[in-house]
Amino acid sequence: MKRKTFLKSTAAVLGSSMLPSLSFADETKKNSIRFAHLTDIHVKPGLIPETGMAKALHHAQQQKVDFIINGGDSINDALGATKQKTQEQWDIFKTILKKENSLSVYHTIGNHDIWGWFVKNEKPDNDRLYGKIWVTETLELKKRYYNFKKGNWNFIVLDSTQLNPEGGYIGKLDEEQLTWLQEVLSKIPKTEFICIVSHIPILSICSSLFFKKTEANGDLLIKRNLMHTDFFSLKNLFLNYPQIKVCISGHIHLQDEVRYLGINYFCNGAVSGNWWNGSFQEFAPSYAIMELFNDGTVKRTMIPYE
Ligand SMILES: [Zn+2]
């Protein structure tokens, strides 16, 4: 079946089987900002990923959210993919998003959205689209990191993934981005609140549980590509800004919540679960509903959407 026809009929089926929207509103807390955080969609050609993405989008829109934050890893992989395969994945992502979603979407760049870093042979580093340019342009981002505001809440969307000269990638902010972050934070009034979005968790326990094992000597290790390696400097920076109430991330495909020094760090699972093959460890394909209240408190609800 042609993708277009297929998605059309899927949408019809999904529409008729929608559950009534769940109510998470706490009566004592009015004027909350309510959004869906869909992360690690990892869409690729195929029935399951394509219908899965459409289903998650429909489900989220039924929850009366104001907007969507896409946490990154929108496509399966561009890091090691050819130009053609990368184009195919972005075409699918954009087509489904346009067709199956009517809300504003704020995108985050995930490691797998970066083109060419791991392409063997014929390295495409002379190509204009190499690295983060392609994803930035495709998702129409003004910059690879940016901020926006909703009511009394400021959102800061970071670019977590940097090329590691020793191989692979590393979770951290580059110098330029850190300077920008310091500037943005310094301008936010004390009476407002802040939500920080990153693809790779700034702090999470599930980053150490991804490989489901300890080192031979019993140590539980957190790899440099599974949590921000600049955590200590970010923590010190954040201590100056009590308005920072919540940090949300994806990348790990596991879910956790860590409250540390007054900040709630939520790692919000994956829409693709075990990369479109059911649950990853104990976690079914899910997305998060985030509620940010006008007293600075926060509520996260994980939604298995299947
Ligand atoms: Zn990732």
Higher pLDDT, 302 or 12: 302
Q: How much distance in Å is there from the Cα of 160 to the middle of ligand 1? A: 9
Kindly report which listed range (27-36, 125-134, 172-181, 214-223) carries the lowest average pLDDT score.
27-36
Which residues have C-beta under 5 Å from ligand 1, the single-atom ion? 73, 110-111, 251
Q: What is the mean pLDDT of residues 18-31?
A: 52
CA of 49 to the centre of ligand 1 (A): 16
Residue with tokens 């009929």: 9
- What's the CA-to-centroid distance between 225 and ligand 1, angstroms? 9
Q: Does some domain include residue 219?
A: yes
Does 80 reside within a domain? yes
Residue 165 is assigned to a structural domain of this protein:
yes
CATH at residue 69? 3.60.21.10
User: What is the rounded average pLDDT of the residues 273-292?
Assistant: 98
115-131: average pLDDT: 86
Inside any domain, residue 19? no
Note whether residue 13 is domain-resident.
Answer: no
119: in domain: yes
The model's confidence at residue 24, banded by pLDDT at 50, 70 and 90, is low
Q: For residue 298, what are the β-bridge partners?
A: 292
Q: What is the pLDDT of residue 120?
A: 81
Q: Are the C-beta atoms of 92 and 138 separated by less than 8 Å? A: no
Separation of CA 26 and ligand 1 centre (Å): 32
Question: In this structure, is residue 209 part of a structural domain?
Answer: yes
Does residue 243 carry a pLDDT above 90? yes
Q: Does the residue 89 lie in any domain? A: yes
Tokens at residue 219, please?
Answer: 């140590």
Average per-residue pLDDT in the chain? 92
77, 117 Cβ separation under 8 angstroms: no
Distance CA 192, CA 10 (A): 42
So what's the pLDDT on residue 48? 98
Rg (C-alpha) for the chain, rounded Å, is 19
Report the separation in Å between the CA atom of 76 and the middle of ligand 1, taken as the mean of its atom positions: 10
Q: Please state the domain count of the chain.
A: 1
Answer for the pair 250, 71: CB distance below 8 angstroms, yes or no.
yes
pLDDT tens, position by position, 66-104 = 999 999 999 999 999 999 999 999 999 999 999 999 999
**Which ranges constitute the DSSP H helices of the chain?**
3-16, 47-61, 83-100, 133-138, 175-186, 231-238
Range of the domain at 36: 30-304
